[in-house]
């Protein structure tokens, strides 16, 4: 998971709100298909082309609008607020996935909000640890909210772990069961490139937050090997 910085809502949504805010049924249910498409497009750009929960690649056609505060628990048009919208896999009306937004469903309710580590929450990213097999765990064993978020969103599902592992192996140049062959110079270059993409609000690599951790491990391993070979005074 990576932290998402919300931007200004699309102008078309602002205009829609002005037109419908006095409607007794005001809410997301009144948003038509065309406007939903524009909202998805804005969310995809805001998120660097990645699903908010899983880190998979998305575009306007392959995601749906997710409400981190579930629509079931929204009041006073909260479900029509851009601040309560994320783009997540899969596409609208696509078969349900065993992880991510569909797995999350109507969780959390008001009593459980503190147990949800939202991608909109500052500092959310470092609360999760990924190993080189693509497996996820709380970075701190005592972080019950991170553990509950993993469970509720199915972020430890084997299919998602496999996707993360494939991305890690491709980045570190892992072949079969052998060690990673990415050298120190290129590992540093790759991690710099990931950081630059974040800073420039560019389209991000799928699972970039996972790759960041994998590259940090590779750099640490290679630096230790290099230092162990230096002559001692």
Q: What is the pLDDT of residues 160-175, one digit of tens each?
A: 999 999 999 999 999 8
Percent of the chain scored above 90 by pLDDT? 95
Mind listing the pLDDT tens digit for each residue in 125-157? 999 999 999 999 999 999 999 999 999 999 999
Residue in 109, 168, 106, 185 with CA at minimum distance from that of residue 134:
168
Going from the C-alpha of 155 to that of each of 1, 56, 109, the distances in angstroms are: 9, 12, 19
pLDDT category, 230, cuts 50, 70, 90?
Answer: confident
- What element of type H or E holds 44? helix 33-46
Question: Which parts of 22-97 are beta strand (E)?
Answer: 64-66, 86-88
DSSP string, 152-179: HHTTT-HHHHHHHHHHHHHHHT--TTSP
pLDDT category, 233, cuts 50, 70, 90?
Answer: confident
- Whether the per-residue pLDDT at 212 is higher than 80: the answer is yes
Compute the mean pLDDT over every residue in the chain, rounded to the nearest whole number: 96
What's CA 37's distance to the chain center, in Å?
Answer: 20
């Amino acid at each position: 998971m990576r932290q998402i910085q919300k931007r200004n809502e699309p102008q078309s949504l602002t205009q829609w709100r002005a037109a419908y805010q006095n409607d007794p049924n005001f809410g997301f249910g009144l948003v038509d298909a065309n406007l939903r498409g524009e909202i998805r497009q804005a969310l995809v750009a805001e998120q660097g082309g990645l699903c908010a929960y899983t880190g998979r690649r998305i575009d306007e056609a392959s995601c749906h609008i997710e409400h981190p505060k579930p629509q079931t628990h929204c009041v006073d048009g909260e479900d029509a607020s851009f601040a309560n919208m994320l783009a997540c896999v899969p596409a609208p009306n696509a078969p349900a996935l065993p992880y991510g937004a569909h797995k999350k469903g109507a969780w959390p309710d008001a009593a459980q909000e503190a147990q949800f580590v939202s991608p909109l929450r500052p500092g959310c990213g470092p609360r999760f640890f990924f190993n080189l097999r693509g497996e996820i765990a709380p970075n701190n064993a005592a972080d019950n909210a991170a553990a509950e978020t993993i469970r509720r969103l199915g972020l430890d599902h084997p299919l998602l772990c496999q996707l993360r592992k494939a991305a890690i192996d491709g980045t570190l140049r892992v072949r079969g069961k052998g060690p990673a062959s990415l050298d120190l110079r290129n590992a540093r270059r790759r991690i710099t490139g990931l950081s630059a993409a974040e800073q420039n609000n560019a389209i991000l690599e799928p699972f970039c937050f996972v790759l960041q951790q994998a590259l940090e491990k590779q750099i640490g391993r290679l630096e230790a090997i290099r230092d162990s070979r230096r002559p001692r005074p």
